[in-house]
Amino acid sequence: MNRLIISLLLCSSSLTIAFPLIPLPTSVEPKDGSFALNGKWEIVTAGTSDFLKDHLSSRIKKLLPHVPETTLQSHGTIKLSINPQADASYAYTLTVAPENIVLDARDEAGAFYGIQTLLQLIQPNAQAIPACVIRDAPRFGWRGLMLDSSRHIQSIEEIKLFLDQMAHYKFNVFHWHLTDDQGWRIEIKSRPKLTEIGAWRVHREGIWWSRPGPEPDEKASYGGFYTQEQIKEIIAYAALRHITIVPEIDIPGHAMAILAAYPELSTTGGPFQVNPGSQFYGTIENTLDPSNPETFVFINDVLSEVAKLFPNEYIHMGGDECPKNFWANDADCQELMKREGHKDPHELQSWFIKRIEKIIQANGKKLIGWDEILQGGLAETATVMSWQGKAGGIAAAKMGRHVIMSPSPAYYLDLYQGHPEIEPATYGMARLKDTYLFDPTLPADMDSNLLLGIQGNIWTEEIPTFRHAQYMTWPRAFAIAEEAWSQRSAEKDWPAFVKRVEAHFARFDAMNWNYSHSIYDPAITLSADKQSVVITPEIDGLQIHYTFDDTEPDATYPICQGPLPIPKGASHLRTSSYRDGKPIGRTTLITLANIEKEKRTP
């Protein structure tokens, strides 16, 4: 039986329950028996680092706190082995037998990924691991998540936990969004005002862009930054987990934190204040002045330090959402455009980015930018990260350029996971099923090798805490992890995926990691004539009880079956999801007038 067939069987059969793995391996071959988890084993290594042994041991202890410490009277072994002669088709082979477990990999990274699979085979408080042979290899080389630390900064320990979670699901690129209008988060020794001034803003609560702006003399006390020593610590932590960190320094737009510190780099002169989430776009300048030579001295100073700090091959320079009205209204920018023969400000932006490309190349790195860098002409060596759907990535690939697909809404993890009335405030919609079923690939007639991989993004405008960042990331990042790692079959099996997701909910509970239960909340829409409510469960097997009379429904209330006519005078709908006669998820309260609103408003 070939490996694809075995993988498909795993996806769609009862094997899902015995092997609830995310991402799905290339192949799983069940065997007879099981390896007992009674604590009487030892971990032995052959060619692997001490870190792998310690990592596996510590994670097992967290998953199985009831198991006593390993004794010298071993009843079995877990062997971690680096074997350069192993089958190059696979990153690792994991063999679980009643008497031992053998993990065979060609290199340290393969062994690390195999350990994550082994850990996933250990269910919380389980007594044994089912015997099997698993062979596995990644689909894409770029398996990324982006975390925005500018809008709300996370602690060092929170970043490390995020990396641990990424590693457990075989992500290997951490795209770190370190600068934006709401804060500068990286120490630049040659430009101290970036962290003295740009890293701090006034504190505000409330829905994004509805917050009051800063008062002229109000103290900026909310924020912070990472020192270069702290960043080195994070880089080393990630490297042990085979995660590359790609820093993003967002320019020429999204630069209000820069301009607050160095207003002379603007066209209007300022003064500027770091933005707390109030409206400013197009009315208060947040764009660097391309006509000022000092702008490029500043950028060279910053990117030179960033390049020395981060050992990976890329620097992400943003390039997105740059308002060009300030350039259009500036005499020096207009003179520059005339001198360079630019027809419009898009070509001026392209000229700017091409200068950044040379600075990045001079520092031994490659440029990545969001798909707006296509405007006015793409820089010669740029890699395009496509966020406005897939169109930008396809356009770049047609030019023979490398592409990373990171499209909104499917791969934007800061969007609503359920109805805006019951979810924390944000914008847009991407339910787990939307993310799981999305196809990020290039058209069939294009060179698939140009697609480096895929990435999910967590923008934190509406995510003030790391706990909430976890809620927004998981379980949708499970779907991205699977698309990035697993060999794609012709058709995906949503019900089987849901079973595996729910198994990982139990794992998150055991680890005290946060996640969203929104898959148990139904989608709620209006009929075409606006006279009925349509309630659609996201997953199979749920019974949705409902009321229009503002009482809280339980199992004695009616079950939704088809469109529900709206009673005269009704103003609210409550729903409660049940499965097998037991409540699951949460009771929801929807204002009927808000059913089709796409965003919460104050």
Per DSSP bridges, beta strands 403-405 and 451-458 are parallel
Q: Which of these is catalytic: 108, 233, 320, 321?
A: 321
Q: How far apart are CA 50 and CA 55, in angstroms?
A: 8
Catalytic residue among 152, 254, 342, 402: 254
Integer Cα distance of 432 and 478 in angstroms: 9
Q: 25: closest CA among 8, 50, 47, 48?
A: 8
Q: Are 423 and 471 in contact (CB under 8 A)?
A: no
Orientation of helix 494-511 relative to helix 3-12, angle to 10°: 70
Q: What are phi and psi of 419, to 5 degrees?
A: -60, 135
Question: How many residues would you count in the chain?
Answer: 602
Q: Is 180 annotated as catalytic? A: yes
Q: What does the block give as tokens for 438?
A: 């999305």
The separation between CA 115 and the C-alpha centre of its own chain, rounded to angstroms, equals 22
Long-range contacts of 463-470 (CB under 8 A, 24+ apart): 463/148, 463/151, 463/152, 463/414, 464/152, 465/152, 466/154, 466/155, 466/158, 466/161, 466/162, 467/514, 468/424, 468/514, 469/147, 469/154, 469/162, 470/165, 470/513, 470/514, 470/515
Q: How many CB atoms lie within 10 A of CB 561?
A: 9
- b/e map 189-209, b = 16+ CB within 10 Å: eebeebbebbbbbbebeebbe
Given strand 128-136, what is the order of strands in its sheet? 27-36, 128-136, 92-96, 100-105, 77-82, 42-46
509 tagged catalytic? no
- Alpha carbon distance 454, 237 (integer Å): 23
- Please say if 42 is a catalytic residue: no
CA distances from 221 to 195, 200, 260 (A): 12, 6, 14
Catalytic residue among 104, 180, 421, 461: 180
Q: Give the closest residue to 412 by CA, choosing from 485, 497, 480, 494.
A: 480
Alpha helices in 454-599 (DSSP H): 466-473, 476-485, 494-511
Which residues have a Cβ under 8 Å from the Cβ of 29 and sit 6 or more positions away?
6, 132, 133, 134
For residue 368, what are the β-bridge partners?
Answer: 316, 383
Contacts of 81 (CB under 8 A, 6+ apart): 45, 46, 47, 48, 102, 103, 104, 105, 111
- Catalytic residue numbers, as ranges: 180, 254, 321
